[in-house]
Amino acid sequence: MAAAGALVSHCAAQTIQPAGWFDVAPSIDSARLADFDLQPSGLLFLFSSKTQSEAVVLGSDHREAARWRLGGRRRMGRLFPNRRVALEEPKRRGVRQVCEYTLAGQRLDRCYPTGDEIASIEVAGAGLIGLGDQRIHYLAPKGNAAHEIGALFLGEPPWLTASDGRTLFAVSEVDATLTAVNLTDASRGYATLLSPRLAAANATRLGDPAVVARFTASNQRVFCVPGGYRIAEGLPVEVFSSRGAPLAALTLTVPRFGDLRRAPAKGSRPQDPIGYPAANFLRVAGSRLYLVDQFAVRVVYYELPGE
């Protein structure tokens, strides 16, 4: 990462134009994007229908590196730095687990039992953690001892969480309190994220309780999207250090596309084009920030300044 000072902005938000965009389509009828993950080495898209799933891995050049189908519905997937893939397995005989796969679609012997309380998974070094039930679960392959610790997130629930592989970050949607948990020694740090745009989101919630609408982390930095934004005016992104110090205020120009449609209500046809992709997924790796519209699976990416 560049020196932190390269990202510091004491003035108005810096406007960033998109570096490009592309679509990713499943080969399974009726499949929808269930999860998205990102490493400097590539991107993972996990599609699921009621009976099948499909993993699609792109390289850092956005060319397809792998695609394979699996039986059963899967909700969670993560990409390791070495480009192995961790995918949730369908529940069988009351047992849930996450297993590792090669890019050839071969399931490896490394499977991590999980409980029903696990709501999401994150990469932690060469392993995985599971989040749920107000606890951090250090997952271990079968035959090895797993353990867990209390999350002890500060602020008002609910929280948005993200991991950069070394630290788990959680931010309160309601009051922007940041908790940073070192995944090696379980030490914690706390801060309140402060910026003019977060303050404005807090002052103008108008029935929407979210001060922080989207959240991700990369390389000891956290990226927050203040609530109440209008996508046509750009996506606001506040960048902070792992200790909560402000580093930058960015506004991402989101292109308008004539072919994008809203997700249809159940049993109805897609609505008229809306133009702007939704930022359902927000991820950062290396010098790039990606936003993904979950329904259209349109990916827009940006080169971050100072990288």
pTM of the model: 0.90
| 274 against 198, higher pLDDT | 198
Distance CA 66, CA 84 (A): 11
First to last CA, the chain: 6
Its domain, for residue 52, covers 4-303
Residue 270 has pLDDT above 70, yes or no: no
Mean pLDDT of 223-236: 93
Residue type, 162: A
Residue 159 has pLDDT above 60, yes or no: yes
Residue entry with tokens 């110090």: 245
What is the SS3 assignment for 38?
strand
Q: How many domains does the chain have?
A: 1
Percent of the chain beyond pLDDT 90? 70
Q: What is the pLDDT of residues 61-117, one digit of tens each?
A: 999 999 999 999 999 999 999 889 999 999 887 888 999 999 999 999 999 998 888
DSSP string across 62-83: S-EEEEEEEES----EEE-TTS
Q: What is the pLDDT of residues 17-62, one digit of tens each?
A: 999 999 999 999 889 999 999 999 999 999 999 999 999 999 999 9
CB 22 within 8 A of CB 9: no
CATH number (domain holding residue 98): 2.120.10.30
